Structure 1
Amino acid sequence: MSTIPLNKTPLKASSLNEVPANQATISQLPLSDFGKHRNALVAKMPNNSIALFPAAKELTRSNDTEYAFCQHKNFYYLTGFNEPDALLVLLKNEQGNSESILFSLPKDPLHEIWQGRRIGQVKAVQEYGVDASFSVADITTLLPSYLNNKDQVLFGFSDHDFAAQVFTWLKQVQSSVRQGIKAPQHLIDSDPLVAELRLIKTDNELALIRQANYISGLAHQRAMQQCHVGKFEYHVEADLLHEFARNGARHPAYACIVAGGDNANILHYTANSDTLKNNQLLLIDAGAELAGYAADITRTFPVNGRFTAEQKALYQLVLDAKKLAINAIKPGMCFAKLNELTNAFLTEGLVGLGILQGEVTQLIQDKKIKDYFIHGLGHWLGLDVHDVGDYHINTDREQRRAFEPGMVMTIEPGLYIPLSDSSVAEKWRGIGIRIEDNIAVTATGFENLTVNSPETIADIEALMLTAKA
């Protein structure tokens, strides 16, 4: 089995925490970028059409308190506006000229005393670049006039509640047909149009995801440094969240997975309630969200700071597989081909360790690696952790879409051998390993955005043992 060259010299803490001098850091997108997003979508809209995009609603957590607000991602992509209950309307006339209208909650002094300040209609135009803004109370009055005489209406078919509202508005318009009102006759799903735009990241979006990765890397370092036998998994989760917030990322991009020992063999384990034990591995899948954009990083390391021989053998195999896949990324490559490379490499490696038995070629053909590598190799990343964008999946469920510059994805090979697996030697049981980086496709290859999360055995052990000294 061939191996991928690795850095033999442990990284210094100072180098882990340095941002490259040629890379600008930003904490949010300029508001003008959202106008560019709208313009790009308008260019895809047919003439004489209207597009409707709702904001998210606040969700009650208990009695009169709400969950932390999370904006509808397509609405946010087109506006940068982070208040609930709003509505974006994009109009394109027969000549191709366009107009953007934002309906939002009005200024309300009493509400703002209790719940916080609102943008209001004046600032919506001044700061967010829309052509006009009205109160949400005006939607019922104004929207029929926007729908009148339009040929097509675009909205997201996946949002069933909003789709029902659109049909209500259309019926309202249709009921006035005797007054010369004409309702749109054609419906277009806007989700694929926005998804294609979101799939290719701008330079500013890449800078933001890069910064989210950097903050996440600091959190993974802290987790390694603070980890020790006897801690609870939720103690480590608290270290992650502390480091996110301390560096400006108020929220995780998803529920942190902090899985000690056999818990790592539960792919979406989020209980984070068990005690960390000696000679266990700890798998952490955690990423920060910064101004709406996500990082998604996984690291696996020994609770006591030293890999056992078996842990080291499996870990190195997964790490080499990750490097093999990442090094192959370039325009024109696809997930299907990366999967072929990675699956063959992992199969050969498990045969070498005696975990798989048989002839390598036949094992690859039979896809026996899926007994131990049970999830996909990666996914798109952006405003959502599992971001939107067509993978061009064929009848064999292969993801054949060719990579293009500006795409961002995760690469996350793993091996999972639960304690209950009696088909392997006992020394391998209870080990679960995943290593995940975030990768941007460039014109000539790739950029690994996950640069300060230690991953080699030497770097991890050096960082952890120095912290314990």
Structure 2
Amino acid sequence: MADYEAILKGKYPAKAHARKVVEYMRSKNKDVSGVLYLEGQKTKMIEDNDGEAPFRQRRFFYYLTGCSLPDSYLTYDIQSDKSTLYIPPIDADSVIWSGLPMSAEEALSLYDIDSVLTTPEITSLSSSSIYAIADQVSTSVSPVDTKLLKEAIEECRVFKDEYEVALIRKANTISTLAHTEVLKRVKNAKNERELEAVFLERCIANGCREQAYHSIVASGTAAATLHYVDNAKPLNGKLNLLLDAGGEYNCYAADITRTFPISGTFSKESRQIYDIVLQMQHVCTNMLKAGALWDKIHLTAHELAIEGLLALGILKGDKEEILKARTSVAFFPHGLGHYLGMDTHDTGGHANYQDKDSMFRYLRVRGNVPAGSVITVEPGIYFCRFIIEPYLKDPAQSKYINTEILDRYWEVGGVRIEDNILVTETGYENLTTAVKDVDEMCSIINGGS
């Protein structure tokens, strides 16, 4: 493993990304030439307010610039391999409040760009073939194509280079500090929002000012809600906490989930479910290498879930019949994982949300996973009444579920364990170091090191 801090001392490889995007475009149309044109996100004001809305750079623009400045533009001349970044000029009124903006000289030294001009100079752009992204053109530029560039960037983003992996490593390292701090504080916390604040503080203090997504801090039965957003309920009387949270470092995400006992000791039922999910994650992660079929790995996760729930008596009957009936979807309704990068649910997964097979409908990645991709492995087992009760009312499904034993598990809520995995030619590398061993987690919760 290369030292990611040493790698990050260099520039974000924007030119290499531009060349890769052009190569993809030419694989679709060998005559591609002219100029790539991209616009950064505009400064937006909060509605009915004189304050600016939180800024989030457009990922397409960032991929070819590494630039997080708002109101900027990029042109990349395919023939000459020349990239030009256009940044806002000095606005005297703005300087009074915000200070001097980045200069062209500073931008040239900071970004992997050949030339830096100011945005008014974009009017001089002329080319017979301009490739842009639909609904992201605000100037007088007239693109010849508004589809191919977007497709090319989305597909190229699947393959992470060394610099991008280093960014994800750093996001994971900082997020692990935050996850660990939550473990240290959970036993004495009063409610979910306290723990969300703990996570945010550690991320911001260590360099992840932005979050990759809104944290899920779900206690007790709330953990059965996959994207729980309340984060405000009291912890008293609850068995477990599911923490799904990740910081964002320079536009790259971590996405980590851990489930642990609030008291520092798992209940019998909670530990049983945790061990099943941990095995699901272990086996499925070990199946990863370049070319592995993600659909098959997801299917394996369901087979393991069925075996585990049969062993506990929650499910009953023949394993193959249960698999064919898709009864396990009641307990594991989401996909095994997704690509990770600049977006938490990153591009290029080719999901099919119209799939009539309930086991694969929410699978965000379909097909073979390539070397260089970063993917999450996040199996889970949940006890959500809203999802499970329709199965209990369906005779074709209820015959496989033992309601008497199921009743012992509702308070477990849900267990999910999620790591961020770099796929290699021969296997994988786990970029996530947050503790998930039960003894280690409980030791931290109970005041150990």
- In the other structure, the counterpart of 2:409 is 428
- In the other structure, the counterpart of 1:124 is 107
* Larger displacement relative to structure 2 (320-329 or 60-69): 60-69
Instruction: Say if 2:338 and 2:349, in contact at 8 Å, map to a contact too.
Output: no
Letter in 1 for 2:77: L
Letter in 1 for 2:224: N
Q: What TM-score do you get using the length of structure 2 for normalisation?
A: 0.87
Divergent runs of 4+, >6 A: none
Residues 1:54 and 2:39 are matched in the alignment: yes
Residues 1:153 and 2:130 are matched in the alignment: yes
Summarize the Cα distance change of 1:225–1:193 in structure 2 as closer, same or farther, 3 Å threshold: same
1:357 alignment partner, one of 316, 328, 335? 316
Shift of 1:99: 2.5
Whole-Å separation in 2 of the counterparts to 1:78 and 1:136: 17
- In the other structure, the counterpart of 2:219 is 260
**Secondary structure of the structure 2 residue equivalent to 1:409:** strand
Whole-Å separation in 2 of the counterparts to 1:190 and 1:458: 49
Give 5+ residue unaligned stretches, structure 2.
Answer: 26-30, 393-402
Alignment deviations for residues 344-364 of structure 1 (CA, whole Å, 9 cap, x no partner): 110111111121222111001
**Secondary structure of the structure 1 residue equivalent to 2:314:** coil
Whole-Å separation in 1 of the counterparts to 2:81 and 2:109: 18
- In the other structure, the counterpart of 1:137 is 120
Shift of 1:465: 1.2
Summarize the Cα distance change of 1:261–1:419 in structure 2 as closer, same or farther, 3 Å threshold: farther
Alignment deviations for residues 153-173 of structure 1 (CA, whole Å, 9 cap, x no partner): 32223xx3x25x47x643xxx
Residues 1:189 and 2:148 are matched in the alignment: yes
Residues 1:408 and 2:374 are matched in the alignment: yes
Q: What TM-score do you get using the length of structure 1 for normalisation?
A: 0.83
Alignment deviations for residues 165-185 of structure 1 (CA, whole Å, 9 cap, x no partner): 47x643xxxxxxxxxxxxx65
Q: CA RMSD in A?
A: 2.4
- In the other structure, the counterpart of 1:79 is 65
Shift of 1:405: 1.6
Residues 1:440 and 2:399 are matched in the alignment: no
Residues 1:34 and 2:14 are matched in the alignment: yes
Summarize the Cα distance change of 1:106–1:27 in structure 2 as closer, same or farther, 3 Å threshold: farther
Letter in 1 for 2:69: E
Shift of 1:466: 2.2
Whole-Å separation in 2 of the counterparts to 1:196 and 1:318: 31
Summarize the Cα distance change of 1:142–1:416 in structure 2 as closer, same or farther, 3 Å threshold: same
Instruction: Say if 2:203 and 2:247, in contact at 8 Å, map to a contact too.
Output: yes
* Larger displacement relative to structure 2 (393-402 or 332-341): 393-402
Whole-Å separation in 1 of the counterparts to 2:176 and 2:113: 36
Alignment deviations for residues 248-288 of structure 1 (CA, whole Å, 9 cap, x no partner): 11121110110011111111112111001234211000001
**Secondary structure of the structure 1 residue equivalent to 2:56:** coil
Whole-Å separation in 1 of the counterparts to 2:100 and 2:445: 44
Instruction: Say if 2:187 and 2:446, in contact at 8 Å, map to a contact too.
Output: no
- In the other structure, the counterpart of 1:181 is none
Whole-Å separation in 2 of the counterparts to 1:61 and 1:30: 35
Q: After the TM superposition, which residues 273-422 of structure 1 pair with which residues of structure 2 at under 5 Å, given as runs?
A: 273-391=232-350, 399-418=365-384
Whole-Å separation in 2 of the counterparts to 1:383 and 1:27: 18
Q: After the TM superposition, which residues 64-75 of structure 1 pair with which residues of structure 2 at under 5 Å, given as runs?
A: 64-75=50-61
Whole-Å separation in 1 of the counterparts to 2:145 and 2:45: 36
Alignment deviations for residues 303-334 of structure 1 (CA, whole Å, 9 cap, x no partner): 11110000010111011101010011111102
Summarize the Cα distance change of 1:250–1:196 in structure 2 as closer, same or farther, 3 Å threshold: same
Letter in 2 for 1:445: G
Summarize the Cα distance change of 1:230–1:408 in structure 2 as closer, same or farther, 3 Å threshold: closer
Alignment deviations for residues 112-165 of structure 1 (CA, whole Å, 9 cap, x no partner): 3312432233433444243333322233x313xx13xx2x432223xx3x25x4
Number of matched pairs = 420
Give 5+ residue unaligned stretches, structure 1.
Answer: 1-19, 171-183
Residues 1:457 and 2:423 are matched in the alignment: no
Whole-Å separation in 1 of the counterparts to 2:238 and 2:295: 36
**Secondary structure of the structure 1 residue equivalent to 2:85:** strand
**Secondary structure of the structure 1 residue equivalent to 2:279:** helix
1:236 alignment partner, one of 182, 195, 206? 195
